[in-house]
Each structure stands twice: as structure tokens, then as C-alpha cells.
A and B are shown apart, each in its own frame.
Chain A
Amino acid sequence: MAIEAEGLRKRYGDTEVLKGVDLSVPEGTVLGVLGPNGAGKTTTVRILATLLPPDDGRATVAGHDVVEQPMEVRRRIGLAGQYAAVDERLTGRENLTLIGRLYRLGRAGARKRAGELLERFELTHAADRETKTYSGGMRRRLDLAASLLAEPAVLFLDEPTTGLDLTSRMTLWSMVREQVDAGVTVLLTTQYLEEADHLADRIAVIDKGQVIADGTPDELKRKVGGERLEVSLADASGAAEALRMLERVSVGPAVTADDGRTLTVPVASGIGAIAEAAAVLRDRGVEVTDFAMRRPSLDDVFLSLTGQADGAETIEKQEVTA
């Protein structure tokens, strides 16, 4: 295991921020830590990155205990925090060279590595400009580059794309993917379900200081429920009859949406149920405008696990920043 945490607890005054967090991340995989604001995601990352001692519990990162051997851990990790930690008054190249020197790569070594990373992260054109002129996406890329200076075995990304537009997010995702393909273990926190779905091999859902679910994205989706067939009718008048027919293939109660012509029925997975539903609708001459299988999204997982209020709030935020 590249990261192993057992029973991490942390309290600030009267607030217990972490109530016993267990995590394990096999080498070369990505764990997405998903949760609403204040769930304890950042606190967990800070403990694993040796910035904060836990009150209780233990954790090893890259084979070393975070409390007993913080220096050994620091030599093997990269951290990109919630806000791009770059010095605005330095150029991109100077920022990377500085961090490289502090990673003890030596003056020349740091300069060489900075040049390589600037190129890989498509920042060469802006390398000698002060970073205060950079866009949000460029800063995040520089921040990610800085976390990779010493070729870490384990990378912590704390909400790496919060506040970025979609294009920048996708660029950053592909850059993280490259690292994973090269064998780096990644722990990523995010509020974006889509991000976790896209990048993570496994997901731990954390809420109020505890891991409330974990598994692969598919496992989590299955936990919430199977596939559903969604049928939109051209005309609401045929809805009652269509619903009756669809109930023959459904494995649970069917639902009619408020518009009176969108029907959703849970069905067994596989092509059989789809074919049967399509056949009965065609035989009766029901006019269908949309016919689709829907799998539960991570949003559904999140909503059902953390309760409506928190989840809805998170989704709203996602829309605002997206």
C-alpha cells in the first residue's frame, strides 16, 4: 500500500473534524476522496502530507510513518493544495527552480528539471513571465508541476480543479492521468463527482469526519440502485397505458415525471429488458421521442449517502463554478 491510514482523529476545540478515518491506496492507483465542504477532506490530506499531526490513529505514506518519519515522507510526496501555491512575483521558471532547490536537486539540477516540467505542462511560452499574469488554469498547472519536481511516489491533490473552467479542468485531468500511467499513486480530494468518476480507480465518500462508503465508482453506483429505463412520450394522453406496459418489464415501481410524459422504470440490466420494452411500445403504436437507459450517476450516490441537503448544496456549487 502506498498510503495506509487507520483511525485518524482530529479535533479542533469542540469540533471533531475527523472521527476515525481509514484509507488505503495501493501503489499506482488513484483514490478519490469525495465529500461536501467541511467533511474533513483537507484535514485528512494535511495529516497524510505531514502538515498536521493526528490526535489519534496512524498513517504511513510511501512506507514511512507520517508522525515518526516526516522527513522521509516529505522526500517521497508531492502536494498541490487548494489554492495554487505559487509566488506571484516570481516567473514560472523561478518558482519551479526555487522549489527544486529546496528539494535539494542542486542549482543546475533544479534549473534543468524546471525546464522539463515547464515544457511538459505547456508553460514554456510563459516561463519567464511573472506568475501574477497567469490565468487560473496556468497557475494550477504550475502548482502541479511544482509538486512533481522531485518525482514523488505519492501525489496529494487537494481539490486541484476547484474554480477552473471545463477546458482547464480537462487539461489538468489528462496531466494527472499521465502521472498515474507513469506509476505515481494519487490521492485526490474533490467536490466534483465527475472528477472522481473520471480520475479515480476507487472512491472514498467522506462526510462529517468519517468514511461512509468506499469502492470503485461502479460499485458505488450499484449500491444506490441498478439501471433505469427512461421513456419520453410524444403525448401525455398515452402515459397511463405506456406505464402499464412498461411495468411488465420493470423490477420495481415505475415513476411518472411532473410533465406527465416522462416515465422511469427500474429494469434488470442487459439487452433483454430494453428489447422487450421497445417491442411492447412499438406494438401498441405508442409514439416515443426519447428512449434511454440511465445508470445512476455519482451524484445519485452522493445524494443518497450524504443526505439531500448537503448533496444538493454541493451540486449547486458545482454548477456555479463549472
Chain B
Amino acid sequence: MGELVDDVMALTGRHMRHILRVPEKLIGVTIAPVVMVLIFGYLFGSAMTVPGNGNYREYIMAGIFTMVMFSAIGTSAAGVADDLKNGLVDRFRSLPMSRYAVLLGRTVSDLAMTALSCVVMAAVGLLIGWRAHHGLLKTLAGFGLLLLLGFTMCWLGALIGLVVRSPEAVNTIASLMTMPFAFLSNSFVPLDGLPRWMQIMAEWNPISAVVSGCRELWGNPSTTVSDALPAQHPVLTALLTCGVLLAVVAPLSSRAYNRAAAH
């Protein structure tokens, strides 16, 4: 265990150096989320109303947070695919190190980056009028849900990177996934207007569960449209869906890593 921690720390140090040396990466995790908050908050906010006269900017913040957590898929997938392509994975696998260390090093550092994004977005959110109304503990609990989602997405990204292998293809797949998962959810629009079957899909989408969970924990406007479990108990559903997904994806990624070959 101590050795695993040492390995993960060494690898995390490597990823942190990347962040410092590749300005695009730092911009990706700081400026991009800020732009999203401003665009969604002002552009959509000027045209949309939340049922029950809620504040759209308060409504949308949880959606933007999850969107950024979701984008960790692409970051992790690209990083893993790059390491495969240039032979680093072969080198790591020939070392007497813990078999989980490389993927943990990757996902933990990518998670740290998404946490940084959260801090930046929360600051901008506060500036444009977003507030969490239920005290420090519940506010932090909301961020805990977001980070659980982010961690799950990092592992999913690692799996995609290991299976797809080509850094170019990885980008396409990650952005393709954004469509159904990030948009077929309650992130940006209430689900009332959707056909029933789409509503059910959107409700059970882990993204929706995390969004609703955050809204509940932060006391932001929420739009519950059904009596289904995800709508009634969003925090529980979020924990459940993310937990199950992580429990499936993490072992699959480890398996793929142990069989990984550069070509």
C-alpha cells in the first residue's frame, strides 16, 4: 500500500509538471469553464425562464459544473492514449511497480485538475449571482458529488483511451459522448417538455442525478417532474449510479491496462 502511494505520488508529480509546461492544459481547466459559466449564464439566462419563477443562473450552475466534470473523459482518454502511443505504457509495465499505480496516478491528477476548475467556476458563479443556501456542509457535499462524478469520468476516459488507443480517435469519441450524456439531462433545460421515454432516460442519466443532487444540496431551483426514484432522491441516485459505473469501469480499465500494447 505504501508503495502504491509512492508510485502514485511520483506519477502525479509528472502530470503536474505537464500542466505547468503545457499552457493550453491550464487554460483548458481554468479559462474554458469560466467562459462556459458566462455564456450559459448570460446568453441562455436572458432567454430562458425556470418554471416556478426560479433564477436561471442559479439553476444552470449545477449543470455547468457537471458538464466540466464530464469533460474529464476527454482529458484522461487523451493522456492515456498518448502514453500508449509513445511507448511509456510499455516502459511502466516492465517496471516492478503496482499495477494500479499508472491509472490511479492519471485519474487522481486529472481529478485534481477538475477540482481546480470547480474552484474557479464557483468563484465566477458567485460573481454572477449564484448562491448555495444550505450551509457549508451541504455545499461541500454537493462538490463531493461532483468530484465523484469527475473521478468516475476519469476512469471511463482511461478505459476509452486504452481501448481506442489512437489519440485522434479518442477526441472524436469523447466529444460524441458529450451529446447524449451531457445534453440529454436536466443540466440546461427542465425535462417537462420532453416525451416520456426521453424523460426516463434523462432522469436515470447519472449526470441528471448529480445535477439534481447539487441543486437539492445547494437549495437552487429544481424542476421535479415525476415520482420516479431519481427525481425524488437525486443524491442517493447520484451516489448509486456513479458508484456502480465506477465499480464497473475501474476494473475494466485495469484489465485493459494489463493487456495494453502500443500497436
Contacts and interface: CB of A to CB of B under 8 A. Distances in A.
Interface of A: 46, 49-52, 71, 74-75, 77-79, 81-90, 94, 98-99, 101-104, 130, 146
A46 B261 contact: yes
14 contacts: A49-B94, A74-B94, A74-B96, A79-B94, A81-B90, A81-B91, A85-B88, A90-B17, A98-B13, A99-B91, A101-B7, A102-B92, A102-B95, A103-B97
Contacts of B11: 98, 102
Interface string B6-20: 110011011001100
Interface residues of B, number: 25
Interface of B: 3, 6-7, 10-11, 13-14, 17-18, 21-22, 86-88, 90-97, 101, 261-262
B96 A146 contact: no
B96 A85 contact: no
A140 to B, nearest CB: 12
A49 B13 CA distance: 27
Nearest to A85: B87
A82 B13 CA distance: 26
Given A85-B86, A101-B10, A102-B7, A79 B96 contact: no
B94 A71 contact: no
Interface SS of chain B: helix, strand, loop or mixed?
helix
5 closest A-B pairs by CB: A85-B87, A101-B10, A74-B96, A85-B91, A79-B94
Contacts of A78: 94
B7 A88 contact: no
B83 to A, nearest CB: 8
Contacts of A49: 94
Contacts of A81: 87, 90-91, 262
Nearest to B97: A102
Given A74-B96, A79-B91, A102-B101, 19 more contacts: A46-B90, A50-B94, A51-B94, A71-B96, A74-B94, A75-B96, A83-B86, A83-B87, A85-B87, A85-B90, A86-B88, A87-B86, A87-B88, A88-B86, A89-B22, A98-B14, A101-B7, A102-B10, A103-B95
Contact of B95 (A74, A84, A90): A74
B192 to A, nearest CB: 48
Contacts of A90: 14, 17
Contact of B94 (A77, A83, A84, A130): A77
A89 B261 contact: no
Nearest to A91: B17
A90 B22 CA distance: 11
A103 B3 CA distance: 10
Nearest to A84: B87
B261 A146 contact: no
Contacts of B22: 89
